[in-house]
Amino acid sequence: MTDRTAELSVLYEIASFDFSGSLEQLFAGLVEKSSRIFDVRRIVLVLKGVSRGSFTWGFSHLSPIVAEDYVRENQSSSEAFVREVSKDRCSCILYLEKKGGFTAKEVRLLHILSSRLVEMIELHHTQEEVRRAHECFKLVIENSPMVAVFGFDQQGGLTQWNREAERIFGIVREDDVPNAETLLQTIQPAALLDNALANVWETGQPTPPLELLLKQGDRECWLLMTLIPVTGFNGITEVFCMAVDITNRKRGERLLLQKSLELEAVFKALPDLYFRFDSEGTLLDCQAGVESGLFVPVDPFLGRKVQEVFPPDIGRQAHTAIKCVLQTKSPVSVEYSLSFNGRQQFFEGRYLPLLDDQVIAVIRNITERKQVEERLRHLSIHDSLTGLYNRSYFEEEMHRIERSRYKSVGLILCDVDGLKLVNDTLGHASGDRLLRAVAEVLKGCFRGNDVLSRIGGDEFAVLLPNVTESIVEKARRKIVSAIDLYNESHSDLPLSLSVGFAVSSTPPFDMRDLFRKADNEMYREKLHRSQSARSAIVETLKKALEARDFMTEGHCDRLQQLVTMLAKSLGLPEKTQTDLRLLAQFHDIGKVGIPDRILHKEGPLDAEEFAEMRRHCEIGHRIAVSSPDLAPIADWILKHHEWWNGQGYPLGLKEEEIPLACRILAITDAYDTMTNDRPYRKAMSKKEAIEELIRCAGTQFDPVLVKKFLSVLRKINREKAGSVAIKPQKQGCLPHTGARSVAPRVERNTGRGRG
């Protein structure tokens, strides 16, 4: 073999120098070729860069540092070949030793061998990195809990897949693995997926993310899927499908949409305005249930500062509230007012933190609430009946005056005389009218800064700051004059006030002591005038009874004559006869407290109306007790509707339990009523009336007194026109046609006889 041929043979061996294993195998190949071709006796290979290490042959193994030192020490030897070669990330020192040294041609070939050696080491590192990367990628994909990955070739066969793909698509490794077409048929919409897949095979470009629905039986799963082609030397070899289960996200989106629609419905249903601002007070969004509540369209204000959205004063308040909310992360409330269409509107703004740099403002029109609050505040310090201040406010004012710097203070107390009597007889409506009249009269008697209050049912009080005793006395006289003036034009329900006052000129004031003095003064006056006041009210009630036609012209006179004659026949004393005449006139005075709708009802009274009618005895009793003139007959007025058999009212007395005067009145009143015309019927004959008295004797009337009364009538008739034949009748009770004192059953059946 020629030298040239031998050299080419060596070059070929160097060029074909390859390995597919570890660095140890590479070094073994180097040893084999070097010892065979160049007849070397020692080799040292020191690796640097990404892989550090050393290999030796021909003597004991040396560590990298020792091996490198050995090379440095022997590199000048005539028998050594040393070369340090670097490439990219790899470098090495190659040391070969040959007895007798290397020829120039061998040195040239060794240079080529060392370069080839570095290339193979670099390739080894690259392959290792690729292998590790592939294993890492495979490990990540295989165990990814989020992304399902499977690949398929042009024939549709699955090439690989991960565990998430098994979970989502139901692939089972032990079973017959389905092809890609079978898997993709379960995905909807099918047309969208088919078009995307065809486009990938045609263009070699991956698809954008597609939202698709996987349906396998009753199971549904939303996927976000991407198709990625894998290209080789012969074009696209396979396609990878990467899918993420977004079912929870879709549910969340649906729930979010539902909440958004609910919130939108709430926005539309509620009258509130909702503004969203950023940290600088810029309006980002607005929602309103009622568009007119915005007063102006909101769109032009989006993106503008809060100071430009609201009027200046409100804008400054809002900007301050926004800053405070962002600093404290706590809600802030602000109230403000606007004039709109000539009306003052009140608003409440609640500013709340949203995220880290935004604020929600909820604006509510609170005009009605403010009005209610004002009414409640007014009611809390005012009397609802008279409109004056109430006791609570009066006591607060007394405390305030005690702490004030007034030089003097006066206190006037007024008590309405006879209010209870008016309430009991004429009803609370009349009593309320009386109290309102008192309030109106008192309002005109005091200064603007005087505090006029109703402090009790029938008590009024006035606080007068910085006054003298003469001024307070003048005010008292003014009250008296105003009452007299009022009574001149209101005789139907006159006013009567007991007035007391006290003045203190020595601060600090003891208002409780001042009140006590004024109250004592008022009480003394009330003792002096109470009887006359009640008498005046009773006189008013008498006039009211006459005005309502219950003291019918002639009836009282005839009744007084009849009771007098019967009383004389019984031998009753003159005083009793006088009281009986008074009873004949006022026994029905209690009817002033009965409503006209009952008194003048044409038809029968129902049970409720009859119960109301029966109250006139008790009302009349209270009136009589309050009047010195009627007090002696008060008990008779109460009992004048009792029956002999105990079926009367109000106490259910019977026989001798009923006062004699009441038994006399019952007979005489019934006789006169039956024998005279009434608005609802014609009079009975005297004979018929007598027959009714006899029939009701022993039930409604005292039978002994009936006989006595009939004897009186016979005497009267003999004196006038001779005797009257009277046939005995069976006992019974009066019919409805005449008697004012009737049984409850007659009242319910006829509606007449209201006595």
The domains found in the chain, sorted by start residue, are 3-135 (3.30.450.40), 144-251 (3.30.450.20), 270-371 (3.30.450.20), 382-541 (3.30.70.270), 548-750 (1.10.3210.10)
| 250 class by beta-carbon count within 10 Å (0-12 exposed, 13-18 middle, 19+ buried) | middle
> What averages of pLDDT result for each successive group of 10 residues across the chain (755 residues)?
67 70 82 86 84 83 88 88 82 88 88 85 82 80 81 82 83 70 83 88 90 88 91 83 90 90 78 86 80 61 83 88 91 87 86 89 87 89 94 94 91 90 82 94 92 94 94 94 91 87 91 94 80 66 61 75 93 91 87 81 85 89 80 92 94 94 94 80 88 94 94 83 45 38 34 43
Burial profile 645-673: b = 16 or more Cβ within 10 angstroms, e = fewer: eeebbeeebeeeebbbbbbbbbbbbbbbb
The predicted pLDDT at position 289 comes to: 65
Closest-CA residue to 638 (of 582, 572, 589): 589
Residue 615 contacts residue 593 (beta carbons within 8 Å): yes
Q: Assign residue 235 a region (left: φ > 0; alpha: ψ between -120 and 50; beta: otherwise).
A: left
Residue 195 contacts residue 201 (beta carbons within 8 Å): no
What is the distance between the alpha carbons of residues 278 and 698, in angstroms, rounded to a whole number?
A: 98
Burial profile 480-490: b = 16 or more Cβ within 10 angstroms, e = fewer: eebbeebbeee
Closest-CA residue to 546 (of 602, 583, 589): 589
Whether the bond between 659 and the residue before it is cis, its omega within 30 degrees of 0, is no
Sign of CA dihedral 648, 651, 652, 657: negative
Overall pTM > 0.85: no
Residue 49 contacts residue 90 (beta carbons within 8 Å): yes
The predicted pLDDT at position 753 comes to: 44
The predicted pLDDT at position 751 comes to: 34
Type of residue numbered 525? E
The predicted pLDDT at position 545 comes to: 64
The predicted pLDDT at position 645 comes to: 94
Residue 598 is inside which H or E element, if any? Answer: helix 596-599
Residue count (the chain)? 755
The predicted pLDDT at position 654 comes to: 93
The predicted pLDDT at position 721 comes to: 60
Helix, strand, coil % over all residues of the chain, rounded to 5: 50, 20, 30
Tokens of 240: 């990878």
Residue 585 contacts residue 608 (beta carbons within 8 Å): no
Distances (CA, A) of 194 to 171, 199, 212, 501, 583: 21, 9, 12, 104, 115
Residue 305 contacts residue 318 (beta carbons within 8 Å): no
| 321 class by beta-carbon count within 10 Å (0-12 exposed, 13-18 middle, 19+ buried) | buried
Distances (CA, A) of 735 to 695, 696, 745, 751: 10, 9, 10, 12
